[in-house]
Chains A and B, each alone.
Chain A
Amino acid sequence: MSQMTRRLAFVVFASVVSVSPVLAQVDFSGEWAPRMWEDQPERVPGPDLGDYLGIPINDAARLRAEAWDASIQTLPEWQCRPHSADYIWRGPSQLRISKEVDPVSRDVVAFHAEWLRSVDRAIYLDGRPHPPADALHTWAGFSTAKWDGDILTVTVTHLKEGYLRRKGLPRSDQAILTEHWIRNGDYLTIVSIVNDPVYLTEPFIRTTDYELNLNQQIPPYPCGVVQEIDRKEGDVPHYLPGTNPYTKEFAIRHGLPVEATRGGAATMYPDFKEKLKTLPPAKQDGK
């Protein structure tokens, strides 16, 4: 075999290896600690009321967010609700990923992710189909994944209704979530892309980082439902349209135009900076 042939053979072999999913697998299992390098104010204290900057929401989402009253969290039905699969990456909780291995083939057939206050989230790699559309939706949704080289691409369907931000900005149960799991040594980056035909006009893309932490434990998080407030059965706290007094707080505190804080796809793009210059900053009502 000539030298050139040997080189070409190597190239061909390398190409073959690169299309083989088994050899491209990366091990994501381990204990991961959150790193709040992005959007820390949203992730720990929680987002400000009325801050929808850079989120491609529609009018319906905006109105729902403005009708949201924090007291709804005291309803028995919502006291133990965990974050959904798309939002839980943004919580401040540590993360544990374990892997499920077929004892015969030794293929990794699933990853399982869990956080402090979560349900088990299984991500299947065994080629199983998603359930029928009318099967039960869950907080974790139904996740299948495939390898794109070293990147694990996850498709999540069957999500229960959740939220884009945990102060009332809704995400519908029709949404489909795509994730890309990327490991660089001891760092894990999750790219999350929410497509919601109900409340978004464009995909909502976030990245979130974790760092390997060998000493970490996730303690149990039991949750009990109690009667927090005396109220009549069926009482659902909410603001009637136009009566929420807090929607301008964020804009006023930061001297931003109210229109900018209302969000929408336009606020995601650099062109919006020019428009910002033409808008007056928010003021207290009556001033």
Chain B
Amino acid sequence: MSRCFWLLVTVAAAFFITASSARIAAQQGARQQPAPGLAEGLQFLPVRGNIYVLQGAGANITVSIGRDGVLMVDSGLASMGDQVLAAIRRLQAQLDLREKPVGFGAETRSTVADRHIESPAKPIRYIINTHVHPDHVGANELLRRSGATFTGGNVAGNIADASEGAAILAHEAVLQRMTSGAEGATPAPADAQPTDTYYTDTMKLSHFFNGEGVQLIHQPSAHTDGDTLVWFRGSDVIAAGDLYSTTTYPIVDTKLGGSINGVVNGLNRILRLSIAEFRTEGGTLVVPGHGRLSDSADVAYYRDMVTIIRDRVQTMVAKGMTLEQVKAAKPTLDYDPRYGATSGPWTTDQFVEAAYVSLGGGKAAAPRASQGRSK
């Protein structure tokens, strides 16, 4: 064959290989890459506005990052504290590069500041604990010591002494659990304990933080007896703690005062606070204690599931069935492929047992909270 023919073949082959390679490269590029500069397994997801969620350090950590500093909802595992702090510092640095000076913080009111020189990242001001479990409070001590809270008022001596460390906010039951050393455990170190607690239905930060109000809402006897929902009212984001998880059945810690009815009530409370943006999705965003970012429709599905299973177990309890009989009846069968587990920290059997116990199984039935309607 002629030289011209082989030239054509060569050109065609090269074109084909290039096109194929480009497609393969594009497909490979589409795969998820680990976030640069973050410790293995950590990732930030943007939620809305100043709000991010840091995943991979135990529980989800919701973070407000802005000109006033950092507010964290939960601190993650103790073993991950250094990595969490590094991740927050890195995100602050990235955000500082692209944020324009704004006027709502006292330190940034001047308009003559040199805009080409970035100020140091503000410290962690607040840590809010949604409850007492170690994957949520474990790094309290390290992160509190790295931060500095706002202070003022009647301070004797050096005012800087009073602002040492970030403030840790929680429901008072969390403080009681951390100081009591229950079941022979050593009480948590002083710097890991909440510095500010509340015992009422809600608590509000006394001023805007990063441009919005932040409200703590107590949900009694739900995941534990010290649960707090954190509502970022400007961003319209709710950090739900372990009242809501997208990875497992709800963890009902009956030994720490939790109950399945409390969980159901808590989920309904989230729905009461939420407003969907369009066609029941978007709008208020909900960060679960574990799992993926959600909105009110996701919470509604989860609420439906917990309510339906609660109703089934409650019916069985009312019939006087034993725990073993209830387990054998498989009241969770239709949701097991999604939320069930036969091993790990929270199995389906543990969930059924917790529901059974908290509904008065084996003894006189406990009074119900809001009830589902079953036929």
A interface, CB within 8 angstroms of B = 1-2, 4-5, 8-9, 12-13, 15-16, 19-21, 58-61, 63-64, 67, 69, 72, 75, 77-82, 117-119, 127-130, 132-139, 144, 146, 160-161, 172-174, 197-199, 223, 231-241, 243-244
Instruction: Say how far B165's CB is from chain A's closest CB, in angstroms.
Output: 31
Instruction: Say how far A249's CB is from chain B's closest CB, in angstroms.
Output: 16
| Contact across chains for A240 and B374 when beta carbons are under 8 A apart | yes
Q: For chain A, what secondary structure do more than half of its interface residues adopt (helix, strand, loop), or is it mixed?
A: loop
Instruction: Say how far A199's CB is from chain B's closest CB, in angstroms.
Output: 7
The answer, yes or no, to whether B20 is at the interface (CB within 8 Å) is yes
| Contact across chains for B333 and A236 when beta carbons are under 8 A apart | no
Cβ 8 A contact of B337, one of A20, A199, A234 = A199
The answer, yes or no, to whether B298 is at the interface (CB within 8 Å) is yes
| Contact across chains for B295 and A136 when beta carbons are under 8 A apart | yes
| Contact across chains for A135 and B292 when beta carbons are under 8 A apart | yes
Interchain CA distance A9-B1 in the complex, whole Å: 11
Interchain CA distance A87-B356 in the complex, whole Å: 37
> Which chain A residue shows the least CB distance to B329?
A241
The answer, yes or no, to whether B279 is at the interface (CB within 8 Å) is yes
Shortest beta-carbon contacts, A-B, top 7: A234-B370, A77-B300, A63-B334, A134-B292, A64-B334, A236-B372, A129-B30
The answer, yes or no, to whether B311 is at the interface (CB within 8 Å) is yes
> Which chain B residue shows the least CB distance to A76?
B271
- Partner-binding segment picked from B93-101, B138-146, B187-195, B301-309: B301-309
Interchain CA distance A240-B272 in the complex, whole Å: 26
| Contact across chains for A136 and B279 when beta carbons are under 8 A apart | no
Interchain CA distance A53-B359 in the complex, whole Å: 38
Interchain CA distance A146-B23 in the complex, whole Å: 9
| Contact across chains for B55 and A134 when beta carbons are under 8 A apart | yes
Contacts of A161 in B (CB 8 A): 298, 301
Contact A240:B15 (CB < 8 A) given known A132-B45, A174-B338: no
| Contact across chains for B373 and A236 when beta carbons are under 8 A apart | yes
Cβ 8 A contact of A129, one of B5, B32, B276 = B32
Instruction: Say how far A234's CB is from chain B's closest CB, in angstroms.
Output: 3
Cβ 8 A contact of A60, one of B26, B282, B333, B372 = B333
> Which chain A residue shows the least CB distance to B372?
A236
| Contact across chains for B279 and A77 when beta carbons are under 8 A apart | no
| Contact across chains for A15 and B12 when beta carbons are under 8 A apart | yes
| Contact across chains for A129 and B31 when beta carbons are under 8 A apart | yes
| Contact across chains for A236 and B19 when beta carbons are under 8 A apart | no
The answer, yes or no, to whether B335 is at the interface (CB within 8 Å) is yes
The answer, yes or no, to whether B285 is at the interface (CB within 8 Å) is yes
Contacts of B55 in A (CB 8 A): 134
| Contact across chains for B280 and A243 when beta carbons are under 8 A apart | no
Q: Would you give 13 A-B contacts (Cβ < 8 Å), ordered by A?
A: A2-B2, A4-B1, A9-B5, A60-B334, A82-B279, A118-B279, A130-B32, A132-B43, A137-B298, A234-B370, A240-B311, A240-B315, A241-B312
Contact A72:B304 (CB < 8 A) given known A19-B20, A197-B337, A233-B268: yes
